[in-house]
Amino acid sequence: MNMVRRPGFAKGGTVKLWHCRDARSFRVLWALEELGLPYELVMLPFPPRWLEPSFLEINPLGTIPFFTDGPEEAGVRMTESAAICQYLAEKAGRLRIAPDDPRYGDYLNFLHQSDATLTFPQTLVLRYSLLEKPENRNPKVASDYRRWFIARTAWTERHLADGRPWLMGDDFTVADIAVAYAFLLAGTLGDQVEVGADSLAYWERSEAREGFQRARAAQTAG
């Protein structure tokens, strides 16, 4: 494990993130950089449950992200990237939409759609085209779920059609971080060329942000 230490912001402990390069935990790393919150970063090989077995003692799921805020045994312990982003935004009071804002429903929908609708199908493409042993790979499954992902980008594409820079208009939020990550993963899998023009432009704005660039640099340094 490679580790970068920074003082944590939680009273009595530190914010700590276990992360694999450009995996879903990147959402959390990006949010931390956008919010300017100090943290401790632990870099792991992917997939950690196979390549870093000791990680299972920390997180029995063997998945990343794994996130703690406060003492590891008594503080907050979380494993879902979108939920961690929401947690950080709520604690910081930034990069979020308040419940009394008319956009709150859209904000929550995008935040959770990012994983359940946009990232999930891509994990199956990744698994059955790259991660499984050659004899267990399944091009039909990979192709089906690639088409599923492309079809499910229609909601984002329609939402961006009015020319807004971010999903909530002029306000960049953790929902943007969560959704934009799905387009990062699509680029890794070679599927960005299939998404609509507005979604592609949105991704390009997202990756140009200083917070995104700092997160990329942090995982390289880690």
Can you give the pLDDT at residue 90? Answer: 97
**Alpha carbon distances (Å) from 37 to 31, 41, 94:** 9, 12, 11
Res 75: pLDDT: 85
CATH of 2-96+212-221, one of 3.30.1330.60, 1.10.30.50, 3.40.50.150, 3.40.30.10: 3.40.30.10
Q: Which CATH class is domain 104-208?
A: mainly alpha
pLDDT of residue 222: 58
The model's pLDDT over 52-106, given as tens digits with 9 standing for 90+, comes to 889 999 999 999 999 999 876 678 999 999 999 999 999 999 999 999 999 999 9
Whether the pLDDT of residue 7 is over 80: the answer is no
43 has pLDDT over 70: yes
Residues of the chain with CATH 1.20.1050.10: 104-208
- Cα torsion through 167, 173, 179, 182, rounded to 10: 140
**What average pLDDT is seen over the chain?**
91
* Number of neighbours of residue 189 by Cβ within 10 angstroms: 15
- pLDDT value for 83: 97
CATH 3.40.30.10 residue ranges for the chain: 2-96+212-221
pLDDT of amino acid 8: 41
